[in-house]
């Protein structure tokens, strides 16, 4: 027997919270933990563009035969265009390769394992703080995780000088995890001049950017949110992107994302891609089709694409409205602390500055679930639950 040697794993900091939420019998409980978009009525709807694409697929599908190791080809090229735009040099020079992968998580894992298995590089730098699963993913792929400073808690702002100082100690070949937009958990992104500085640092020190791009379209817009990535790709010879369509297409449970490599030339890209495929083959063999076919159908059809962009805009705008309402409601229930920084943050999350003890009280006394770091999913707020949330925060 071997199972008795196994130690109990700690609950996942985010999904473990969802389990606790589900088990909570209170009817007025609110889940602001996991990053899932909810509409004004508290539902996570299927986008209309997705439903229409699925109908098309259902009507036209003729086979359930295996996909190739790298997935749906039309999907992979649509991903490249969405990431870089039609005209970017990395596409024109054909030094970009993409493999469909299961969600952002699967894409990050394939990327990390590809690097760990095939290169001298064994270290990845992640921001402090970062998405809780990054450590787990990269350590599972045998990479050593180091942290660069990113956030200045007292001022609720970016500590860019500290980020540069920490990355200045990285060695050639190290990976640097960068959030493409809507930094999770802080909601604070680099501006164009900071992207430029980071790109030049990576070039000079031969660091390899790994973009985690899980929220394209949730910041300022589909094109706007890709500006940092495109600028970095203008400057550095090599980079990796792990992107996800869980949030921006609402395809959470379809597990759809992609890993994209940009190499210095076409031959290097081809060789590297052969090892990306080998990594996938030894892992899950080849990806499931449905999510990729939905995304490819929408992005390949002008009408569906326009509909998707409008739906994405609606999600983005609702979250922005909730940020403003959150700040205003806190003020109106008598919270004297200044929370105005929340309305300038990007994406689904707000880094509230609430501490562990306050987070615990919110859960135990009020049934309001947020992550221990104080990260609040603004996407889970509605006009209906806002007063209760703000009254509870005022109490703690
Ligand atoms: N990266 C970040 C920053 C995220 O917040 C998430 C999801 O919460 C992911 C990656 C993973 O997304 P997926 O559900 O597609 O694996």
Task: List Cβ neighbours of 136 (8 Å cut-off, separation of 6 or more).
Answer: none
Asked if 74 contacts 234 with a C-beta cutoff of 8 angstroms, the reply is: no
| CATH code for the domain of 41 | 3.90.1150.10
Share of the chain above pLDDT 70, in %: 100
Token code pair at residue 306: 């326009």
Q: What is the pLDDT of residues 206-262, one digit of tens each?
A: 999 999 999 999 999 999 999 999 999 999 999 999 999 999 999 999 999 999 999
In a domain, 52, yes or no: no
Do 241 and 274 sit in the same domain of this protein?
yes
User: What pTM was computed for the model?
Assistant: 0.96
Please tell me if the CB atom of residue 243 comes closer than 6 angstroms to any atom of ligand 1: no
Do 279 and 326 sit in the same domain of this protein?
no
Please tell me if the CB atom of residue 347 comes closer than 6 angstroms to any atom of ligand 1: no
Residue among 36, 103, 284, 348 to mutate when testing ligand 1 (max atoms within 8 A of CB): 103
Burial 254-274 (b: 16+ CB within 10 A, else e): bbbbbbbbbbeeeebbeebbe
Do 281 and 389 sit in the same domain of this protein?
no
User: Residue range 3-30: average pLDDT?
Assistant: 90
Please tell me if the CB atom of residue 215 comes closer than 6 angstroms to any atom of ligand 1: no
Asked if 281 contacts 89 with a C-beta cutoff of 8 angstroms, the reply is: no
Q: What is the pLDDT of residues 57-71, one digit of tens each?
A: 999 999 999 999 999
Question: pLDDT value at position 121?
Answer: 96
Please tell me if the CB atom of residue 248 comes closer than 6 angstroms to any atom of ligand 1: no
Provide the ipTM: 0.99
Q: What is the pLDDT of residues 88-139, one digit of tens each?
A: 999 999 999 999 999 999 999 999 999 999 999 999 999 999 999 999 999 9
In a domain, 55, yes or no: no
Do 230 and 379 sit in the same domain of this protein?
no
pLDDT tier, 352 (very low <50, low <70, confident <90, very high otherwise)? confident
Q: Into how many domains does the chain fold?
A: 2
Do 288 and 319 sit in the same domain of this protein?
no
pLDDT tier, 34 (very low <50, low <70, confident <90, very high otherwise)? confident
> For residue 338, with 0-12 CB atoms within 10 Å meaning exposed, 13-18 middle and 19 or more buried, which class applies?
exposed
Structural domain boundaries enclosing 324: 11-46+304-395
Do 227 and 362 sit in the same domain of this protein?
no
Phi, psi at residue 284, to the nearest 5°? Answer: -125, 10
Nearest to 290 by CA among 108, 109, 56, 83: 56
> For residue 352, with 0-12 CB atoms within 10 Å meaning exposed, 13-18 middle and 19 or more buried, which class applies?
buried
Asked if 182 contacts 225 with a C-beta cutoff of 8 angstroms, the reply is: yes
Distance 3 CA to ligand 1 centre (A): 31
Do 340 and 296 sit in the same domain of this protein?
no
Strands 157-158 and 175-179: unpaired
> For residue 309, with 0-12 CB atoms within 10 Å meaning exposed, 13-18 middle and 19 or more buried, which class applies?
middle
Lowest mean pLDDT among 45-49, 281-285, 346-350: 346-350
Do 168 and 227 sit in the same domain of this protein?
yes
């Amino acid at each position: 027997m071997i199972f008795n040697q196994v130690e109990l794993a700690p609950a996942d900091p985010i999904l473990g919270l969802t389990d606790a939420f589900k088990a909570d019998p209170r009817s007025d409980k609110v889940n602001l933990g996991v990053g899932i978009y909810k509409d004004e009525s508290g539902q996570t709807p299927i986008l209309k563009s997705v439903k229409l694409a699925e109908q098309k697929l259902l009507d036209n599908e003729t086979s359930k035969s295996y996909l190739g190791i790298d997935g749906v080809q039309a999907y992979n090229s649509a991903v490249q265009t969405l990431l870089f735009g039609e005209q970017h040099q990395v596409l024109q020079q054909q030094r970009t390769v993409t493999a469909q992968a299961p969600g952002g998580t699967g894409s990050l894992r394939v990327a990390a394992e590809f690097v760990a298995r095939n290169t001298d590089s064994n270290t990845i730098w992640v921001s402090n703080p970062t998405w809780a699963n990054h450590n787990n993913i990269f350590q599972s792929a045998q990479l050593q995780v180091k942290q660069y400073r990113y956030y200045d808690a007292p001022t609720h702002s970016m500590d860019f000088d500290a980020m540069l100082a920490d990355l200045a100690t990285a060695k050639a070949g190290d990976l640097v995890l960068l959030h493409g937009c809507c930094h999770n958990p802080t909601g604070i992104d680099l501006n164009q001049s900071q992207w430029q500085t980071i790109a030049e640092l990576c070039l000079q020190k031969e660091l390899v950017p790994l973009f985690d791009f899980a929220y394209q379209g949730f910041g300022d817009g589909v094109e706007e949110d890709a500006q940092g990535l495109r600028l970095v790709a203008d400057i550095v010879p090599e980079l990796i992107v792990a992107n996800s369509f869980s949030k921006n297409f609402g395809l959470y449970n379809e597990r759809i994302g992609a890993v994209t490599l940009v190499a210095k030339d076409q031959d290097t890209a081809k060789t590297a891609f052969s090892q990306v495929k080998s990594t996938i083959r030894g892992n899950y063999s080849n990806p499931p089709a449905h999510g990729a076919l939905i995304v490819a159908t929408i992005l390949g059809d002008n009408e569906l694409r326009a509909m998707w962009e409008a739906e994405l805009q609606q999600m983005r705008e609702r979250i922005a409205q909730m940020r403003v309402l959150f700040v205003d409601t806190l003020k109106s229930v008598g919270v004297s602390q200044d929370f105005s920084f929340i309305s300038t943050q990007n994406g689904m999350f707000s880094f509230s500055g609430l501490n562990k003890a306050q987070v615990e009280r919110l859960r135990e006394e009020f049934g309001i679930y947020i992550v221990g770091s104080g990260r609040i999913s603004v996407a889970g707020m509605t006009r209906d639950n806002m007063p209760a949330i703000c009254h509870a925060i005022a109490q703690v």
